[in-house]
């Protein structure tokens, strides 16, 4: 709290008033600090792939390009780093859109069960690792009003994380529960888990539990922050539960009106 004080004094020298203005600077300072941290994070995140690329490009121009084995390998590295920067910039653009005051979504009435099934099918078709998918979903149609593209982005991100951290042969379980006025969607893996102290932090921008390792896995550190924004504008909530070494569950909710659905049938 900052106080500005002005003394109201007459020409005669008598003081006949005091104006005290109190500013709440803590909130402003917090925002300023967050903004500075954000810019510093973005700079670091971009510098890492750029410096890697510079050294590989130097090695290539110093002769590695003529080497049948090293040439393609080094080019592959620079390409991966480029891909990472594109992902990062795309994520940043998404977040900056969401930060703007006029961010809106385009919701439609969607049958959530078939929507989720389609996403799981896509991962099941394309997955490179040996991981099982278990679906514990309601048999009936569950209509919710959501922006399909945005929700796809959320679920894609959660599944990609679950796959990244899953052990070979592990199971990823999908559950959808119908509650009074919302549905609860959970995606559980049997991976390394998240330490208790970090369970809320993983939804912050750029927060990673293990910086070096997750960077190696190709993440931007923004996926769950974006998910939180998207679920938030839908009127839902998102959080994580985990037991270290046993697995992680990401849970989110979406508003749901069972009565309205009956009217439809």
Which residues contact ligand ADP (rule: CB under 6 A)?
Answer: 157, 161-162, 165, 189, 191-194, 202, 207-210, 214, 219-225, 248
State the minimum distance, in angstroms, from the CB of residue 68 to ligand ADP: 34
Nearest to ligand ADP of 72, 218 (CB atom): 218
The DSSP H or E segment spanning 93 is helix 70-99
Q: Residue 47: count other Cβ atoms within 10 Å of its Cβ.
A: 10
State the minimum distance, in angstroms, from the CB of residue 127 to ligand ADP: 15
Sheet of 182-189: strands edge to edge? 132-136, 171-178, 182-189, 247-255, 238-243
The DSSP H or E segment spanning 157 is helix 148-165
Nearest to ligand ADP of 208, 234 (CB atom): 208
Nearest to ligand ADP of 150, 208 (CB atom): 208
Nearest to ligand ADP of 60, 194 (CB atom): 194
State the minimum distance, in angstroms, from the CB of residue 96 to ligand ADP: 16
State the minimum distance, in angstroms, from the CB of residue 250 to ligand ADP: 7
Nearest to ligand ADP of 191, 236 (CB atom): 191
Q: How far apart are CA 207 and CA 221, in angstroms?
A: 6
State the minimum distance, in angstroms, from the CB of residue 213 to ligand ADP: 8
The DSSP H or E segment spanning 238 is strand 238-243
With contact defined as beta carbons under 8 Å apart, do 103 and 233 qualify? yes
């Amino acid at each position: 709290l900052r106080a500005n004080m002005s003394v109201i004094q007459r020409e005669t020298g008598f003081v006949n008033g005091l104006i005290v203005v109190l500013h709440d600077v803590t909130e402003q300072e917090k925002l300023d600090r967050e903004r500075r941290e954000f810019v510093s994070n973005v700079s670091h995140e971009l510098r890492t792939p750029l410096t890697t690329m510079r050294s590989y490009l130097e090695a290539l121009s110093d002769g590695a390009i003529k080497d049948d084995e090293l040439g393609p390998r080094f080019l592959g590295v620079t390409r991966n780093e480029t891909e990472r920067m594109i992902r990062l910039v795309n994520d940043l653009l998404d977040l900056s859109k969401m930060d703007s005051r006029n961010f809106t979504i385009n919701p439609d009435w969607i049958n959530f069960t078939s929507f989720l099934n389609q996403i799981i099918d896509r991962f099941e078709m394309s997955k490179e690792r040996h991981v099982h998918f278990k679906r514990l979903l309601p048999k009936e149609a569950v209509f919710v009003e959501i922006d399909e593209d945005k929700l796809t982005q959320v679920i894609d991100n959660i599944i990609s994380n679950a796959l990244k951290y899953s052990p070979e042969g592990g199971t990823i379980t999908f559950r959808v529960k119908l509650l009074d006025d919302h549905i609860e969607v959970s995606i559980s893996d049997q991976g390394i888990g998240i330490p208790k102290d970090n369970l809320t932090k993983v939804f912050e921008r750029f927060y990673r539990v293990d910086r070096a390792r997750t960077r190696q896995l190709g993440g931007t550190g923004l996926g769950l922050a974006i998910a939180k924004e998207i679920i938030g504008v839908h009127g839902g909530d998102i959080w994580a539960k985990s037991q270290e070494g046993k697995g992680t569950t990401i849970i989110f909710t979406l508003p749901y009106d069972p009565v309205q659905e009956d009217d439809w049938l």
